[in-house]
Chain A
């Protein structure tokens, strides 16, 4: 009975890669909701909270992604590895692109 349970636990895939990716998605959602709150003119306090979440969640995604990768292929599977890598790479790429776009001033044109 105990052996069966262990086998079941080993076959059970870790949820960490999915959580990592979800954190990235939540960050994007929070970003747009944050903008919406600011432009509503009345939900500014919520907007600040959402922007705060936008800044923090990608770090959570990267950490969760790294922790997932550390569990090994057996625990997370090939799909889990792909999810984890995407969850780690996505914030890094977005930050790099944002810095480049702002540094060249393109974002000011688009967002003003």
Chain B
């Protein structure tokens, strides 16, 4: 009799331990993805799905642990096992909110015309040094390329340093993604971009190319909304909540009549998407819902999309780099959001008070040599840094 009781007690203890382990895993996963600490910021059913799936997987597993297995309970056991498998398998999908059959549109419209910043052209908007450059390069000039927002920088550098007679279109513009590919393929000597994404680092490593990143200036990663949006400031955590899908309504961010947040994203590998990934720090970024109208997607640059009106409100939220938004493609109907009350001004970037201050880099294949090294050394010199500042960016 006592032996039976001991056996029963052991079985109960084992079941209790297993249940505790299952629940611990469930709550750790929810904690890891910030669902426990940000439960109060969830304002939509898509955002609640990961919590529901985790709880169902754990609940199903605990039921299986405690279930009395008889012929009668077989259907329940099979259903519970199916529930555990189904919810656990779909948990990553729930985390990304990627329930859409249509491929989400992450385009930001056309890249726009940057010919106004071309070097050595009449009336070019390229920043001028205003003095004789301490470095002049002729002969075999390094071919430059990079991010759209940094074209004015390397265009100004080329105009200041390259001999006009030797210049033969060495400032290329493709975009961040193509520039990295061209650098890895050996078609460019220097590219100017934000820090590379993990996939770009992987592509370089696979090709046996060591990427050498030399910081040459500072820039702010900014979040942009329509001018009529009453929200002036957003916190770091609120951004993480929006782009991880927990918060989907402007109401939660303080704008009662704003409706749903249309949170634009950029293509993977672009400088600004890499910037967002840096802010999310491993938190899965929500797959954007396919939008119903070209009006909402926009046909031009990201800065235009931001101010699109929809049913009397400007519901969009986007991100870019400050210079792109306020100098290259200024939109009078858009505004930058403060982050935790700090605005992305040059002073705040220089002092580091603005939280999303990032370096931008001259990226080369390994250690730079020859004219490429001379060029980068010059950019890092006081004269080169003055030109960076004149362009509109913050110097190091």
Residues of A within 8 A of B (CB): 31, 34, 38-39, 41, 44-45, 47-48, 51-52, 54-56, 59, 62-63, 66-67, 70, 99-100, 102-106, 108-109, 111-112
Contact = CB atoms under 8 A, between A and B. Distances in A.
Interface of B: 39-40, 42-45, 48-49, 51-53, 55-56, 74-76, 79-80, 83, 87, 99-102, 249, 251-252, 256, 259-260, 289-293, 296, 310-311, 315
B289 A102 contact: yes
B315 A112 contact: yes
Given A41-B251, A106-B292, A66 B260 contact: no
Nearest to B256: A41
A108 B291 contact: yes
17 contacts: A31-B45, A38-B251, A41-B251, A41-B256, A44-B40, A45-B40, A51-B42, A51-B44, A52-B51, A52-B55, A56-B55, A63-B83, A66-B75, A66-B79, A103-B101, A104-B292, A108-B291
Contacts of B296: 108
Given A48-B39, A55-B49, 15 more contacts: A45-B39, A48-B48, A51-B42, A51-B44, A51-B48, A52-B51, A52-B55, A55-B53, A63-B79, A67-B76, A70-B74, A102-B100, A103-B290, A105-B290, A109-B292
Of listed A70, A105, A106, residue having the most chain B CB within 10 A: A105
Contacts of B100: 99, 102-103
Contacts of B87: 59
Contacts of A31: 45
Given A99-B101, A104-B102, A51 B45 contact: yes
A112 to B, nearest CB: 5
Contact of A38 (B43, B51, B52, B310): B43
B388 to A, nearest CB: 42
A62 B80 CA distance: 11
Contacts of B259: 112
B258 to A, nearest CB: 10
Contact of A56 (B56, B252, B289): B56
A103 B45 contact: no
Contact of B56 (A41, A59, A99, A105): A59
Given A108-B289, A112-B310, A48 B42 contact: yes
